A and B are shown apart, each in its own frame.
Chain A
Amino acid sequence: MEDVQVVAMLVRRCIAGDAAAWEEIVQTYNRRIYNICYRFAGSGDDAQDLAQEVFIKMYRTLPSYDHTKGAFVTWVTTITRNLLVDHFRKSKQDRMTDSIDTSASDHEDAQPLSEQIPDQSAPPDAHVRSREVSETVHAALAKLSPELREAVILRDLQDMDYKEIAVVLKVPEGTVKSRINRGRAELARLLQRTYRQVM
């Protein structure tokens, strides 16, 4: 995924005060971090704020990165995950009171989940249908518990291997696999339930 030496050099330049190196890091990782934040937080605005916070934290703690202990992307993902968990804990009460029909997406055209189910009569075109399905899955993903959600996001959306996920989540690899299985199954059940309600 990344050339360790190149990234290590980039980090060293950045620590030395090279603004161009820092900009390169931001350009390289902003998309990935934004997507993790977006899928975890469920909101585009929240994702933007969280991604910004992640980079601020990364900028401050960059000297603590040791390339011999792990890949830079794992380190970045760990920072992101820790910040997302903190964010979740702060807004836990709000999330607990959410219902399945509450608007979960601000990034796209947010609608209650039951209204986002595609109409069987006549979908306008495949692109729109695909977008609607994505919104539905995204809304269902937001309903998973944080432990399951972060596991499936890192595995199925970020394509990280189990060992890296175990490092990021600080749990054994077996636990990671278990969470991924339960997360996938729970997501499928949520979506089936939603479709059944509409039908």
Chain B
Amino acid sequence: MPDHTSNGMQCNEFETLLTDAIDGVLTGTGLDRFQAHARVCRTCGPLFAEAEAGRNWLKGLTEVEPPASLVMNILASTTGVDTQRLRVTARAAQPRISWWEHVQATVAGYMEPIWATVRQPRFAMSFGMAFFALSVGLTVSGVRPVEAAQTVGQMVAHPSTIRHTYYNTQARVVRYIDNVRAVYEVQAALRRIKRDVAPAEPGQQQSRPAKPKDDKNDTTQQPEQKQERNYSQTEDHVILASAPVGPSPSVFDSSNPDLPVVSVTTNRRFV
């Protein structure tokens, strides 16, 4: 834009004031100078006319209506929930929902992600094993889930059942202890009787002589049973093997009196 002065106003100043003039906020002397410049300046005059015309064209444009699906698409792409459609559906149906269903829906909302994780094959096997181990453990320990559930249910239903169950359990424990004591007393009595009867049978005691614990001859450093196998090495019993002096009708034939009498003495190890 040429920068020349006309009516005391430069073209740069004219352009600065152009928006104010078009908006209608330029008044007084400023407006007079502006209009005077526009009349005489070959550049600024047409510029003012064109800018005003352009503004009028633009003001004639009306707002366009956005597509009906725009809001729905925006909500679906941002929050991932088609809330508008849900709302329309909810308004159309409006079913009666009890407080229990509300609770169930809320719990399901929290549990669904956990359940989705559990349902994955890698976790499903682990949870299966854990459940199996738990059920085996309960069975071994004598806990029956059904009975436990029934007991809990009864206790919840009637508080007096708690007292009843407590006294029953206490009586059962006392009875058990008494029974155990009786068994122990019977066992002790039997032991005493056995001890009293034992001296009348000396063979019993001789047959199993008490072995001295401090066997000084034990140089084998072997277990007791193993040492017993070699007991003949430690025994010094001499067994005399001898033939009968006279002829024995049961052994020798009496018709052969010339048989020599041999006396043999040998140290033989007892096997």
The verdict on B161 contacting chain A, using a C-beta distance below 8 Å, is no
Residue of B nearest to A186 (CB): B54
Which residues of B have CB within 8 Å of A141?
58, 61
Complex Cα gap A51–B72 (Å) = 12
**Chain B residues whose C-beta falls within 8 Å of the C-beta of A23 in the assembled complex:** 71, 75, 83-84
Are A26 and B71 in contact (CB-based, < 8 A)? yes
**Which residues of the partner chain B approach A185 to less than 8 Å between Cβ atoms?**
47, 50-51, 54
The answer on a CB contact under 8 Å between A181 and B19 is: yes
B54 and A188 contact, CB distance less than 8 A: yes
Which residue of B has the minimal Cβ distance to A173?
B19
B16: chain A residues within 8 A (beta carbon) = 174, 177
A171 contacts the other chain (CB 8 A): no
Asked if A97 is an interface residue, CB under 8 A from chain B, the answer is: no
- Given the complex, which residues of A lie within 8 Å of B256, measured CB to CB? none
Q: Which of B19, B60, B67 contacts A137 (CB 8 A)?
A: B60
Nearest-neighbour CB distance to chain A for B265, whole angstroms, equals 113
Query: Quick one: which of B47-85 are within 8 Å of A by CB?
Result: 47, 49-55, 57-67, 70-71, 73-75, 77-79, 81, 83-84
CB distance from B56 to the nearest CB of A (A): 9
Q: Write the nearest CB–CB distance from A50 to chain B, whole angstroms.
A: 11
Q: Is A98 an interface residue (CB 8 A)?
A: no
Interface size range on A against B: 35 or more
Contact call B64/A184, Cβ cutoff below 8 A? no
Give the interface SS of chain A, mostly helix, strand, loop or mixed.
Answer: helix
| Residues of A contacting B62 in the complex (Cβ-Cβ under 8 angstroms) | 134
Binary contact readout B229-262 vs A (1 if CB under 8 angstroms, 0 otherwise)? 0000000000000000000000000000000000
Q: Is A76 an interface residue (CB 8 A)?
A: no
Instruction: Digitize A53-64: 1 where CB-to-B-CB distance is under 8 Å, 0 elsewhere.
Output: 001100100000
Within the complex, which residue of B22, B52, B64, B84 is in contact with A34, where a contact is CB–CB below 8 Å?
B64
Q: How far is the CB of B85 from chain A (nearest CB, A)?
A: 12
Q: Does B18 contact A (CB under 8 A)?
A: yes
Q: Which residues on A sit within 8 Å (CB–CB) of B61?
A: 39, 134, 137-138, 141, 157
Beyond A55-B78, A183-B54, A184-B54, is A30–B70 a contact (Cβ under 8 Å)?
A: yes
* A positions within 8 Å CB-CB of B: 19-20, 22-23, 26-27, 30-31, 34-35, 38-39, 44, 48, 51-52, 55-56, 59, 107, 130, 133-134, 137-138, 140-141, 152, 156-157, 162, 174, 177-178, 180-181, 183-189, 191-192
A-B contact pairs, 17 of them (CB 8 A): A23-B84, A34-B64, A34-B70, A35-B64, A44-B64, A51-B66, A52-B73, A130-B60, A177-B16, A177-B18, A181-B51, A184-B50, A184-B55, A186-B54, A189-B50, A191-B53, A191-B54
| 15 more CB-based (< 8 A) A-B contacts, given A181-B15, A184-B22 | A20-B83, A23-B84, A30-B70, A39-B61, A48-B73, A55-B74, A59-B78, A59-B79, A134-B61, A137-B60, A141-B58, A184-B51, A184-B52, A187-B57, A191-B53
